[in-house]
Structure 1
Amino acid sequence: MHLFYTPDIQPQHKAFILNEEESKHAVRVLRLSVGQQVQLVDGKGGRYAAVITDAHPKRTVLQIRSVSMDDGKRPYYLHIAIAPTKSIDRLEWFLEKATEIGVDEITPIVSEHSERTIVKLDRLHKVISAAMKQSQRAYLPRLNPAIRFANFLAGSTSGKRFIAHCADGEKQHLSHSMQPGESAVVLIGPEGDFSPMEIQLAMDAGYTAVTLGDSRLRTETAALMVCAEIAILNK
């Protein structure tokens, strides 16, 4: 069934009008017509079953048939803080796949060895919302503006705190450091890794060093590995 992202919909709504972009997609691209059933998601766990009552390419009208809240809610909250890759395509790939597998919040962090310091959020939001719809999820991961590494450490986060890095030193396996249902924030560095000073700053801020295996992974692969490991742990 076709799914549309409608962040402004409310549980009390009996009818809803798609915006022009979604209306055009529904009528011109998908060729949906009056009487056909669709689903709407608000990105906050609300899933709405609806039927088209007016298939207009600029303002398609829908009648809401049923509402389900907290649809597909996971028992944990995962926050990935990742150094943006030099190639924005690789960051987009991570966002798409992480949304499909399961992630709740993403923060681009600017570290000492970062190859990219500026991130334009509009395109990335579109990638995330498209992945949410493709995977039929009702939750839209939160994407934060880029922030410097030290400022991120100084902010408030919930759950266990981990930093994945390639430097020598004692590390735990991430999958051995978590229990099902636990939330976490995980720091993923740039291709040049975090600097020794940044690793120490994170440790001083209460982060635990973890390893994701014996292979040296690209930034986006390491971040996706975190999403996969925690998703499997919570199966």
Structure 2
Amino acid sequence: MHIFYTPDINSDTYILSEEESKHCIKVLRFQKGSLLNLVDGKGGFYDAIVEEAHPKRTRINILRVHQNYGRRNHYLHMAIAPTKSIERLEWFLEKATEIGIDEITPVICDRSERKEVKTERLNKVITTAVKQSIKAFHPKLNEAERFSDFILKSKHSNKFIAHCIESKKLAIKDQFKLNSDYLVMIGPEGDFTSAEIDSAMKQNFVPISLGNSRLRTETAALEACFEINFLNR
């Protein structure tokens, strides 16, 4: 099954972008009459056929539309401190998209080693993972925000902050509510500061533990992503 990401599709015919057309015709060797699938990132999954096999502007006809394809029973927002090595953040975005995630916000913390995030490349990583894992919903990647600003705006029903400081913490499963919306915050390699944790708790974030092992930022975020998806099965 070959998937093409077409976020602006709005009719029974569609012209693939030059990049996608080249991939379709030159790489995959599709011809007129070849069957393929499209996703719009908003839940639409399309069965389609190549009408005009052009290496720069391939024209597609839509055969069938499946709405809310693969919709999950919950909403997951991960707020993660961007890693010093951007490749590690890219790895997380790829794997989290494959497992199931709805929204990601890079959060700049007091101990963050990376203070800026360019979202264009990261969105491409997400799009590739969407196509690879056959997802009709494209996760939303927000611009980076300061920790102090972010915690004041969060409106989710279940808000968690994972940290390593010795204190009272719960496992996700002990605070879990089925089929709900969740926000999980994961700090930088040096962890959140005590002041940041206190500030989050004042905004009704629940401190959680992700086990006894000391995890890298991207591993901790993926662990939380997997656990919430698993509990919602």
TM-score range, shorter chain: over 0.9
Q: What is the CA distance between 1:154 and its match in structure 2?
A: 1.3
Matching residue of 2:227: 229
Deviations 1:122-170 (A, max 9, x none): 1100000000000011111000000000000111332200000000111
Matching residue of 1:217: 215
Matching residue of 2:5: 5
Q: What is the CA distance between 1:234 and its match in structure 2?
A: 1.2
Deviations 1:92-125 (A, max 9, x none): 0000000000110000000000010110111100
After the TM superposition, which residues 1-235 of structure 1 pair with which residues of structure 2 at under 5 Å, given as runs? 1-10=1-10, 13-235=11-233
Inter-partner Cα distance in structure 1 for 2:41 and 2:156: 21
Task: Give the aligned residue type for 2:101.
Answer: V
Task: Give the aligned residue type for 2:115.
Answer: T
Structure 1 stretches of 4+ with a deviation exceeding 4 A read: none
1:163–1:210: 8 Å Cα contact kept in structure 2? Answer: yes
Task: Give the aligned residue type for 2:3.
Answer: L
TM-score, normalising length from structure 1?
0.98
Q: What is the CA distance between 1:231 and its match in structure 2?
A: 1.0
Task: Give the aligned residue type for 2:191.
Answer: D
Task: Give the aligned residue type for 2:199.
Answer: L
Task: Give the aligned residue type for 2:51.
Answer: T
SS across alignment from 1:154: helix
TM-score, normalising length from structure 2?
0.98
Identity of aligned residues (%): 54
93-102 vs 19-28, greater mean Cα deviation: 19-28
Inter-partner Cα distance in structure 2 for 1:229 and 1:39: 30
Deviations 1:17-68 (A, max 9, x none): 1111111110111111110100000001000110001010111011100001
Unaligned runs of 5+ in 1: none
Inter-partner Cα distance in structure 1 for 2:212 and 2:155: 28
